[in-house]
Structures are given as structure tokens and as C-alpha cells.
Chains A and B, each alone.
Chain A
Amino acid sequence: MHLRLPLPKSILLETALLALFLAAISALLIGNAYYTLLAATVVLFSSMVVAWNVIGGYAGQLDLGAYAYMGFGGIITAELWIKTGLPPIIGIFVGGAASSLLAVLIGIPTFRFGIKEVWYALLTAALVVIFNNIARLLMGPFDYYLPSDSGLLYLKFNNYELMYAISSAFLLAAFLINFLIERSKVGYYLRAIREDELAAEMIGIDTRRYKLYALMIYSFLLGTMGYIYIVLAASFSYRIFDSSASLSIAIMGIIGGLGSVEGAIASSMILRSLGEYFRSSFGSTFPGLDLLLYGTVLILMGIFQPEGLVSMFNLIKRKLGVMTNERDHP
């Protein structure tokens, strides 16, 4: 094995390409506030899927609890600003840390008792419902609003282009963190766990510890994104703990191809944008057409293309002769 730089050129190139792509979209949308806001939500959603890739893609744990961590971190950031005046630019890290702490509290017993596969999925799905119920008990059925201040200190602008830029920054950050993990010891261990947990344990990997690391990174990222979600939605309530939205994060990750950051971005952006398009065009005549689309894609993928979108990309790359072995996903 030879040493690698922490960030090889190919990754810097991919990051630059993604940044260019995000910038090109914003240039296309300039002047249309509605589409810019929509693009900002799509990009934020995409960064959530990229964050999910750490636990779902690399570690292979089917986590359905995304909005529990996202909402928890987001509400803490928002409440800190409202109650103590702590500006969100610092508050999001507190929110992320709180989400991560929550993940530790849940993850330690869960991994300690070897809960995986369907049982892990159920446990995390139940987590969202528990938070929804408890938040409703504590917050009541009301909508809460953020103070009207805006500016970089509050990561909140009245200008949608700037909100889009913030979402893009989150996506780029999540993208880079994924690559850092992929290249690190943790990333190799996680993929070993995903392929065969028992074998990973046999060769001396502390599977519990590394799964917990993955869960902590994932929940931290989601916890920081929660506040941006609240800003884009303009208000927050107990409804932020949304089971079906949590499920769709995992769906995008699966369709993209487990462990593939590019696949996650492609599937979430394409399907979410298509979904929004269907919703705005046919929402009144055929409500739920967007979700019908997700369902159909999921079934077709599951039956015909179980490795996800990424295997199609790899096929195209191989055809074009640019496939390098280093990022080949089995």
C-alpha cells in the first residue's frame, strides 16, 4: 500500500466540478425567486442524502431516522438564537453536537446489542415517531418563527440566491467529508463492515466503535443542516420530525448506489427535481405523482439494478475507457 495525500487531485477536481455545476444552476435560475428557493431546498435535501451515505452507504446500516437528527439539531440552533441570542453561525455547531450526542445515546446500546438490518431500520423509524410525539407534547401544535434579523451571522438572508449559496456550501462540505472518510482508515473499516460484519470482526475491527463513529458523523452533519432547513421552510413545528421524509432520504441513497457520493447527489437531485416538477404541474389533478415515481423507480432498481445508479455510471465510464480501479465499487 502506498501513501495517499489527504485529498488527491481527482477529488479536488470532482469538488471543483460540483461547485461549478452548482454555480451554473444558480446562474440559470437568476431572477426567478421561486425556482431559486426550490433549487436551494433540492440542494439541501441532496446534502442530507450525502450525509446519509456515511451511515447507510459506507457502514451499510439502513437508517430511517434522518429527520429526527435533523429536526433535533435545527430546533436547538433556532431556540438558542431565540432564547439566548446565540447567533446560528455558532449555534449550528451546537445543534450538530447535540444531534451527535443523541446519536451516541441511541447508538451505544443499539450496536452493543447487535441490532442490525430490519431491526435497525425499525428502531430508527420509531425514533422519528417518538420525537414527533414528544415535540408535539412539548411544543404544542403551533408554528414557531425565527427572528427577522438576517445576515451571515444568522446564516439567513432575504435573498434566495444567497440561501442557495449556503445550501451549496453545505453540500460541498458534506461531499468533502465523505471523501475524507472514504480515504481514511474509518472508511475502509466501514466498508468491510458493510460487506461482511462477521468477517470484519474476525480480522479485529471493533465494529461497534466504527458504526458509532459513522452514526456520529452522520448525525452531526444532519444536525447542522437542520437550521438551514428551518430557514428555508420559514417556520418550524413538531412536524419537522417527518417519517416519510426520513424514508425518502434513505430511498435516494439506495437508488444512488450504496457508498457512492456521486450516485447520491445524482439520484436526489434528479428525482427530487422531477418530483417537484410533477407536484407543481400535476399536483392538483394527480396528487402524489412524485411519490408514485419514487416507488416505481425503487421497484425497478431493486429488481433490475440492485447496485443503484452508480453501476450505470460505472458502465458508462468503462465504455468511455476512463474507469480507474481506485474508485470502483464492488
Chain B
Amino acid sequence: MISPTLVLQNTVDGIFLGLFYSLVAIGLALIFGVMDIINFAHGDLLMLAAYFAWLGSVDLSTDPSITALLLVPTFFILGIGLYYGLIQPVIGKEPLIQIAVTVGFGLILQNIALATFKAEPKAVPYSIFNFSYSIGPLTLYASKLFIAAVSLATLLALHLFLNRTHLGLAMRSIADNREIAQLMGINVKKLYALTFGLGTSLIALSASLWMTFGQVQPYLGTSFSLISWVIVALGGLGGVVGVLYSGIIVGLAESLGGLLLTPSARMAVVYVVFFLVLWFKPRGLFGRR
């Protein structure tokens, strides 16, 4: 019999994990929502950033979360470069072509990582958040708390950015109607580059956070890509809030699924939930346009 304490502990862990997943998926949701680009290399970019975070924190002997200060601007520029080199040629083309190009890019990243860092997982030897609190029967790890807080704060900031600033509103207007936005004098191409850069820098942030408790190996991206797409599908382009809720649903499904079945079947639970939602609410839980 599973004790209620364990269920509670897993629920809390699931919510924390879900907040982090939302942060991972939000870059993808932004890129897909604004640019209609199907990016299957999302997770592989995260893997790349995670290696940089690992290198940075080992070389500078700091916590990986601090490397984010360096990685976020770097990946913003990298994202803009990627946009012009790789994404712009396939904008507006068939979904299959976009998938092919981004899958190809992901394969290249994976195998360069494999050749450079070999297959064994790398983890950061220390973290400044390596302690925990006990609240009653619950144990809260400081690192998880920190990650959840940063994720939530970033999502909130992004929400405000998209709803309150001129630039954010311009992005949303492209998502709504590209032609009319263009007529209103919005430079769509420039804004696309910016959106891709922003999405990529959000990946760098989540990768830095991931390295405070996780490990990186060349195939880390595959599971993150799939999870991010699952969250985007569940969220149904309902904005930041939709991604936040669906991230938490996925986090809870994984955490409680691992507890109630076995840890090795936890992803099956997530994907079964995904199947059911896609079947019965093809527009996502939180409304797709």
C-alpha cells in the first residue's frame, strides 16, 4: 500500500517538475505559436546548452545556475544565427520539410556531442542549493524549490512581456494574423529572428537549471523534445498560462505515474495522458486558436 505521505511528496515533486517542464516547453510554444515553425531540435539545443553549462560551471567552479548569466545572451545570439541559416529557408514550407530539417539539425548536434563528450553522463560535482528542508513529513529540496521559483518568475515575466510591451504585442499579432500585422508596419522577418533568439535563450536558461540537479548525455534532447511537444499539444497555444498548466499536468503524471506503477513506466503514463487528451480534445486543454 502506498502511504498518503508518499503521494503528497510525489505531488509536490510533480508540481515542481511541472514548473520546470513549463519553462522547457515555453520556448518551443513561443516559436511554434508565432512563427508556425515545427522545431524538432528543441531538446537537442537544450542538450547543447546543458553541456555548456556543465563546462562553464566546472571551469569557473560555480553553480550551473550562475552560468545562465553567460549562456542566456550567448544562446540569444546563437538563436538569431540559427534562424537566418536554418529556419528562414523553410518558413512557410510543408510541415514535413520543417521536421526533416530540424530533425537533421538535432542529429548533428547529438552526434557532435557524442564525439566530443562521449556517451557517459556528466554531472556538476557541486551545487550551492544542495540542502533540504523538512516540513512535517515532507522533504523540500532547495534546488527544486529554486528551479520552480525561477521557472515561475520567468514565465510570469514572459507573460507580462507578451501582454504589456510593444514588442510582445507585435509578436502576438503576428501569431494572430501575419498579413495584417505586416500591413500595420511590423517587420515580420526581424521579429521572427527575435522570437527564435528569445526561444533559444529560454532553452539556455532551462538547461542551466537542469544542470543543478540533472545529468547531461548526448541523447538528453530526445526526451525533452517529446515532452515539450506534449506540453505544447496539451496547452493548445493558450499562451503562457496554458503551457504552465499543461506542464504541471505532465509533471504530476510523471511523478505520480512513477509512484503508482513503476519508475520505468512513468513516461508511458505521460504519453497515455497525451493520447487521451489529443483524441478527446484535439484543440488542447486550453484552447488552440
Interface residues of A (CB under 8 A from B): 60, 62, 109-110, 113-115, 117-119, 121-123, 125-127, 129-130, 133-134, 136-137, 243-244, 247, 251, 254-255, 258, 286-289, 291-292, 294-299, 301-303, 306
Tell whether, in the assembled complex, residue B104 and residue A302 are in contact, meaning their CB atoms are under 8 Å apart.
yes
Tell whether, in the assembled complex, residue A115 and residue B104 are in contact, meaning their CB atoms are under 8 Å apart.
no
Tell whether, in the assembled complex, residue B100 and residue A298 are in contact, meaning their CB atoms are under 8 Å apart.
yes
Q: Does any Cβ of A come within 8 Å of B156's Cβ? A: no
Tell whether, in the assembled complex, residue A244 and residue B267 are in contact, meaning their CB atoms are under 8 Å apart.
no
Nearest opposing residue in chain B for A108, CB measure: B279
Tell whether, in the assembled complex, residue A288 and residue B282 are in contact, meaning their CB atoms are under 8 Å apart.
no
Nearest opposing residue in chain B for A112, CB measure: B279
CB-defined A-B contacts under 8 Å, sample of 22? A115-B278, A122-B233, A123-B275, A126-B271, A130-B272, A133-B266, A137-B265, A243-B222, A244-B219, A251-B104, A287-B114, A287-B119, A288-B111, A288-B114, A291-B111, A295-B111, A299-B86, A302-B90, A302-B97, A303-B86, A303-B101, A306-B94
Please give the number of chain B residues whose Cβ is less than 8 angstroms from any Cβ of chain A in the complex. 48
Report A-chain residues with C-beta under 8 Å of the C-beta of B90: 302-303
How far is B110's CA from A135's CA once the two chains are assembled, in angstroms? 26
A288 and B271 contact, Cβ closer than 8 Å, known pairs A122-B226, A133-B264, A137-B261: no
Tell whether, in the assembled complex, residue B262 and residue A119 are in contact, meaning their CB atoms are under 8 Å apart.
no
Tell whether, in the assembled complex, residue B267 and residue A291 are in contact, meaning their CB atoms are under 8 Å apart.
no
Nearest opposing residue in chain A for B93, CB measure: A306
Interface SS majority for chain A: helix
Report B-chain residues with C-beta under 8 Å of the C-beta of A287: 111, 114-115, 118-119
Q: Does any Cβ of A come within 8 Å of B38's Cβ? A: yes
How far is B278's CA from A125's CA once the two chains are assembled, in angstroms? 14
A299 and B226 contact, Cβ closer than 8 Å, known pairs A130-B268, A133-B268, A134-B268: no
Interface SS majority for chain B: helix
Tell whether, in the assembled complex, residue B111 and residue A62 are in contact, meaning their CB atoms are under 8 Å apart.
no
How far is B278's CA from A115's CA once the two chains are assembled, in angstroms? 8
Query: How distant is A52 from chain B, measured CB to nearest CB, in Å?
Result: 13
A299 and B38 contact, Cβ closer than 8 Å, known pairs A122-B226, A122-B233, A254-B100: no
**B106, B233, B271, most chain A CB atoms within 10 A:** B271
How far is B264's CA from A328's CA once the two chains are assembled, in angstroms? 48
Report A-chain residues with C-beta under 8 Å of the C-beta of B272: 130
Tell whether, in the assembled complex, residue B279 and residue A109 are in contact, meaning their CB atoms are under 8 Å apart.
yes
Report B-chain residues with C-beta under 8 Å of the C-beta of A243: 222
Report B-chain residues with C-beta under 8 Å of the C-beta of A302: 90, 97-98, 100-101, 104
Query: How distant is A226 from chain B, measured CB to nearest CB, in Å?
Result: 20
Report B-chain residues with C-beta under 8 Å of the C-beta of A123: 274-275, 278
Report B-chain residues with C-beta under 8 Å of the C-beta of A119: 233, 278, 282
Q: Does any Cβ of A come within 8 Å of B214's Cβ? A: no
Query: How distant is B253 from chain A, measured CB to nearest CB, in Å?
Result: 12
Report A-chain residues with C-beta under 8 Å of the C-beta of B222: 243-244
Report A-chain residues with C-beta under 8 Å of the C-beta of B108: 292, 295-296, 299
Known: A122-B226, A295-B106. 17 other contacts (CB 8 A): A119-B233, A121-B99, A126-B226, A126-B230, A126-B274, A129-B268, A130-B268, A243-B222, A287-B114, A287-B119, A295-B111, A296-B108, A298-B103, A299-B86, A299-B101, A299-B104, A302-B104
Query: How distant is B52 from chain A, measured CB to nearest CB, in Å?
Result: 19
Contact mask B141-162 → A, CB, 8 Å, 1/0? 0000000000000000000000
Which residues of B, 88-137, contact A by the 8 Å Cβ criterion? 89-90, 93-101, 103-108, 110-112, 114-115, 118-119
